[in-house]
């Protein structure tokens, strides 16, 4: 499902116009992204949790040249599915 299909689905399920559904989706995504940017987490009971994980600096290897390189520390957004979502997907 791509973004436009998601907008169509939300519009059909809520009775909103496509424009209103798009604005609703944008608002939800902006709220999640904003909280993650502040280092927080967003927990949606029954769906899952969005949070930021820190990755420590480490030594890696360039597979092409076999040269050892230093990989800098970083932060990455992660999603952990909740039990209800896992059960739904498992069928």
Contact indicator for 54, 73 with CB cutoff of 8 Å: yes
Contact 89, 61 (CB under 8 A): no
* Crossing angle of the two packed helices 3-14 and 18-37, in degrees rounded to 10: 120
Q: Domain limits at 62?
A: 42-91
Are residues 91 and 76 part of one domain? yes
pLDDT along the chain (91 residues), means of 10: 97 96 97 96 96 96 94 96 95 84
Is residue 47 located within the same domain as residue 70? yes
Asked if residue 19 and residue 46 are part of one domain, the reply reads no
Residue 22 pLDDT: 97
Closest CA to 17 of 6, 5, 8, 26: 8
Q: Are residues 54 and 75 in the same domain?
A: yes
Shared domain for 69 and 87, answered yes or no, is yes
If one counts the domains in the chain, the total is 2
Q: Which pLDDT value is given to residue 31?
A: 97
């Amino acid at each position: 499902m791509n973004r436009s299909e998601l907008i169509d689905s939300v519009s059909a399920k809520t009775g909103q116009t496509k424009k209103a559904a798009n604005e609703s989706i944008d608002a939800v995504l902006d709220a999640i992204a904003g909280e993650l940017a502040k280092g927080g987490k967003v927990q949606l009971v029954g769906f899952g949790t969005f949070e930021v994980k820190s990755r420590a600096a480490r030594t890696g290897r360039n597979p092409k040249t076999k040269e050892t390189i230093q990989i800098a520390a970083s932060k990455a957004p992660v999603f952990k599915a909740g039990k209800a979502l896992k059960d739904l997907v498992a069928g």
